[in-house]
C-alpha cells in the first residue's frame, strides 16, 4: 500500500506525509492516553515541524 501511495502522490509529498507520522503519534498519545509531555518532547516536535516547513519551502522552489 505504501508503494502504491508513493506511485500516486510522488516521493516528495510522501516524504512530507511520513514526517508527520511521529507528530500524529505524539498528539494521539497525549490526547488518548494522557501521556505527559516533557521539554524534550516539545523540542522534538519543534524540530519535526521545522523540518517539514523547510522541506516544503525547498519543494516549492524546485517545483
How big is the chain by its Cα radius of gyration, in Å?
Answer: 14
pLDDT of residue 63: 55
Question: Who's near 29: CB < 8 A, 6+ residues apart?
Answer: 35
Over residues 6-39, the pLDDT tens digits come to 778 888 778 778 888 888 999 999 999 999 999 9
The pLDDT confidence band at residue 2, using thresholds 50, 70 and 90, is low
Q: Tell me the C-alpha distance between 44 and 35, whole Å.
A: 15
Buried b (16+ CB within 10 A) or exposed e, 25-59: ebeeeeeeeeeeeeeeeeeeeeebeeebeeeeeee
Amino acid at each position: 500500500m505504501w508503494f502504491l501511495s508513493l506511485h500516486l502522490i510522488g516521493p516528495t509529498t510522501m516524504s512530507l506525509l511520513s514526517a508527520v507520522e511521529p507528530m500524529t503519534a505524539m498528539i494521539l498519545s497525549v490526547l488518548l492516553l494522557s501521556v505527559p509531555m516533557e521539554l524534550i518532547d516539545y523540542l522534538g516536535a519543534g524540530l519535526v515541524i521545522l523540518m517539514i516547513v523547510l522541506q516544503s519551502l525547498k519543494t516549492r522552489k524546485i517545483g
